[in-house]
Structure 1
Amino acid sequence: MSSPLFDTHAHLTDPKFTEDPAAIVDRAVAAGVGEVLALGCDLPSSEAAVELARAFPGRVYAAVGLHPHEADTAWPGLLPRLRELGADPAVVAIGEIGLDAYRGWSSEANQRRLLNAQLELALELGKPVCVHSRAAESDIVGAMTEFARAAAERGIPVPGVMHCFGGTLEQALPFVEAGFLVSIAGPVTYPKNDETRRLAAGLPARSLVIETDSPYLPPQGMRGQRNEPAFIVETARAVSAARGMSLEEVAQLTTENARRIFCAVRAEATGR
């Protein structure tokens, strides 16, 4: 495989990653992964993601944000620091942000307040978003469509990524029409998950990216293990089978899409 893969969503600062980050990056590179986006879900993990991106320039990029599970905490006081982190050239997106109607660990009203505050921050900083929408695809589409309109006015060419999308193809299409990329993760490899394979097959080529969501959601052959960026090859293989494309074609397509959103932001921030 001559085209490197791009893991668009990995929580490399999660406590489950206990070894030297260089070992994780080295295994990813050996597996054919060229770039990884490391995301925060609270302030400490966001700060750690920025440090990782600084340590592995050109290999690891950072996104900073507060997950919807943080919405019932005293998050307004964290926004100044999040703004400071978000302005760092190593940061290419605001995330992981969104709505979660599956766990119910935070109230819907507080989740929406937190989401809206971070969407405003993304617009202020001129950066796309990485969006969590678990069991909330219909609930979040209005906010994301409005954000996409505002992002276009601010000159943000791709508004963001709908991460590890768990809805149907029909639910994904409004996000695609708004300009979002839709990310496919390890569950596409699960034998009973025909809906995600249908999603992977039906998305427009320009809208498709892949991810691991490490350390969560390992692909079928690695279930029971901690997921990591090197395993994204299995997701790429499942997507290639679903779309009737070669692995090389999927690698080239999804990496070009990921670079269109994340590397363009970094190039603008660094002047390169």
Structure 2
Amino acid sequence: MRLFDSHSHIQGREFAAGLPDVLARATAAGVVGVAVCGYDPESNQAAIALAATSPQLFPTVGYHPHDANEVTPAALAELESLARRPEVVAVGEIGLDFYRDLSPREVQRRVLNEQLGIAVRVGKPVCVHSRAAEGEIYEHLTMYAGSSPLRGRGRPVGVMHCFGGTLEQARRYVELGFVVSIPCTITYQNNTEARRIAAGLPLSALVVETDSPYLPPRDLRGKRNEPANVRAAVEGLAAARGIAAEAAAEATTANACQLFGVSIPVKAGAL
């Protein structure tokens, strides 16, 4: 089984000790690719540095909506410079978070639009964080999707990371050209909507993720999540659709490769 964790933060301090063991466990679990997602200046640089150690680690760069109030024009210029680097596969984690509101909403909107513009200019997809903002962010993403050069290349324009909306909302994003990411929380007993989404969207529109170190699967709640656990997301997706886990793994790995514009060797090495 070949697995691709489409969203992680393994460059963070939570993994400062023991990262080689984390990667070894991921390899043993069948993980052949991991997106290492930045969210502020420090984590962006760390994602790029970590990804340089393995051809199967793929960095993304962006500014999280929590930190939007700290994003300056100079910071946006630096972000665009990083996003143009060939090894960087996406702009993100970006978006709107109206649940915590750690930055003023108007600032979140402005910084999101600035980063969507960067993604259009560099021709890369976006990794979108949306919490309690699924209705509003759709309008921003509609304008972005219409401008993204990826549409003409048959590639997704982005991914709705750890999607927390409804199946009906998810379908609207897929129509825009996004894929939807299923996290390990699909295993939680009360998370019926995630299972509806996993069952109701085309398999071609789905990827899986851990969001490490956050959101571990049900049997590991309260513990640090890590890329090896993406298998739980795949198994949850497969169960929701009534298909074999191997088929779900093959499809979501292919979808992640198409999203990020990367390829994984058939005989992939260790992470």
TM-score range, shorter chain: over 0.9
Q: Is the 8 A contact 2:125 2:150 kept in 1?
A: no
The residue that corresponds to 1:89 in the other structure is 86
For residues 264 and 48 of structure 1, the distance between their equivalents in structure 2, rounded to whole angstroms, comes to 20
The residue that corresponds to 2:267 in the other structure is none
For residues 17 and 42 of structure 2, the distance between their equivalents in structure 1, rounded to whole angstroms, comes to 18
The one-letter code matched in structure 2 to 1:15 is R
Q: Which one of 44, 56, 66 corresponds to residue 69 of structure 1?
A: 66
For residues 5 and 45 of structure 1, the distance between their equivalents in structure 2, rounded to whole angstroms, comes to 24
The residue that corresponds to 2:106 in the other structure is 109
For residues 72 and 218 of structure 2, the distance between their equivalents in structure 1, rounded to whole angstroms, comes to 36
Q: Is the 8 A contact 2:257 2:263 kept in 1?
A: no
User: Superposed, which structure 2 residues align to 1:87-166 within 5 Å?
Assistant: 87-152=84-149, 155=152, 157-166=155-164
SS of residue paired to 1:212: coil
TM-superposed deviation, 1:264: 4.3
Q: CA RMSD in A?
A: 1.6
For residues 150 and 254 of structure 2, the distance between their equivalents in structure 1, rounded to whole angstroms, comes to 24
Unaligned stretches of 5+ residues in structure 2 = 265-271
SS of residue paired to 1:91: coil
Unaligned stretches of 5+ residues in structure 1 = 267-272
The one-letter code matched in structure 1 to 2:63 is L
TM-superposed deviation, 1:205: 1.3
TM-superposed deviation, 1:77: 2.1
Q: Which one of 216, 230, 233 corresponds to residue 232 of structure 1?
A: 230
The residue that corresponds to 1:175 in the other structure is 173
Q: Is the 8 A contact 1:127 1:265 kept in 2?
A: no
For residues 176 and 74 of structure 1, the distance between their equivalents in structure 2, rounded to whole angstroms, comes to 29
For residues 187 and 93 of structure 1, the distance between their equivalents in structure 2, rounded to whole angstroms, comes to 24
Aligned length: 263
Q: Which one of 21, 24, 39 corresponds to residue 23 of structure 1?
A: 21
The one-letter code matched in structure 2 to 1:46 is N
For residues 201 and 42 of structure 1, the distance between their equivalents in structure 2, rounded to whole angstroms, comes to 34
| TM-score, normalised with respect to structure 1 | 0.93
SS of residue paired to 1:52: helix
Q: Is the 8 A contact 2:198 2:240 kept in 1?
A: yes
The one-letter code matched in structure 1 to 2:37 is L
Deviates more, 1:131-140 or 1:153-162: 153-162
Q: Is the 8 A contact 2:97 2:133 kept in 1?
A: yes
Residues 216-265 of structure 1 deviation map (CA, whole Å, 9 limit, x = unaligned): 00000111110000011111111110000100000011011111111349
Percent identity of paired positions between Structure 1 and Structure 2:
49
Q: Is the 8 A contact 1:92 1:265 kept in 2?
A: no
SS of residue paired to 1:16: helix
For residues 81 and 147 of structure 1, the distance between their equivalents in structure 2, rounded to whole angstroms, comes to 21
Q: Which one of 191, 194, 211 corresponds to residue 209 of structure 2?
A: 211
